[in-house]
Amino acid sequence: MSTTPPLSDLRKSYEQGTLDEREAASAPQQQFETWLSEALARGIPEPNAMTVATVGENGRPSTRIVLIKGCDARGIVWYSNYHSRKGRELEARPFAALQFHWVEMERVVRIEGRVEKVSAEESDRYFASRPLGSRIGAWASPQSEVIDGRGVIVARAADYGLKFGLNPPRPPHWGGYRLLPDYWEFWQGRTSRLHDRIAYRLQDDGTWQRQRLAP
C-alpha cells in the first residue's frame, strides 16, 4: 500500500508577505524589478526562470521554461531557436503569456502581451556573450525536431565545434524575442486562501490602470 498522502490532502498556509494596491508601484515594471531584486537577494534558485505560453494553429496552448535575459521599458527578453515549436507558434500568432513562480517567497508574476523579435544587433551581442558550448549547441540542436538519440546531438556538436572553432557565428535561426506587456498581475500568497492579486492593464494613453482582483 502506498504511503504517499492523497493529493487532495496536501495543504500549505501562505504567510510570507502582503501586497497592498496602495503600496504597490505605480508602474508594473518597477514592481517587477523590486520583486526580482528581492528574489535575487534571498538566493531563490533560478529566479530568472519563467514559463512561456504560446498557442498553436489548432488553438491548443503549450508551455515551456526559458530564462529572462532582459527587462526594460521596451519589454521582457529571452532567446531561443526561431524554428522550435514555440518559434513557429509565435510566427503564426505573435502573442504570449509569461509566468514567474518564486515558491519560497509565495509569489507569482504573470505577464501578457504581443511578441516581436529583437534586432539582429541585440541577438549578436547576446550570442557573443554566451559560453562557447552554448554557442555551439545553438547550431547543433534542431530544437523540437524528432531525433534518434542523444548521440545525434553529440555528433552534431562535435562537427560544428570543428567547423567554427572558438568563434561560432550566431545561427540565422537563433535569436531574441521581446514581449511587449499590456497586462501584468502580481500574486502574493496569504492565509485562508485570501491571496493578494494586483493587476496592471495598459490604457490607450500609455498609462497603467492598477486594480485589485479577488483571489
202 domain-assigned? yes
- Is 190 known to sit in a ligand binding site? no
Residue 121's alpha-carbon distances to 20, 83, 92, 133, 175, in angstroms, are: 40, 19, 24, 21, 10
pLDDT at 1 over 70: no
Cell of 12: 500549505
78 domain-assigned? yes
Angle at 70 between CA 65 and CA 72, to 5 degrees: 130
Overall average pLDDT of the 154-179 stretch: 97
139 domain-assigned? no
What tens digit of pLDDT does each residue of 40-96 get? Answer: 999 999 999 999 999 998 999 999 999 999 999 999 999 999 999 999 999 999 999
Range of the domain at 52: 14-131+172-212
- Is 163 known to sit in a ligand binding site? no
33 domain-assigned? yes
- Is 170 known to sit in a ligand binding site? no
1 domain-assigned? no
Identified catalytic residue from 93, 193, 201, 212: 193
- CATH number, domain at 176? 2.30.110.10
4 domain-assigned? no
74 domain-assigned? yes
140 domain-assigned? no
| Packing angle of the helix pair 150-164, 132-140 (nearest 10 deg) | 120
The domain tally of the chain equals 1
Higher pLDDT, 16 or 95: 95
- Is 194 known to sit in a ligand binding site? yes
Active-site residue flag, 93? no
What tens digit of pLDDT does each residue of 172-195 get? Answer: 999 999 999 999 999 999 999 899
pTM (whole model) above 0.85: yes
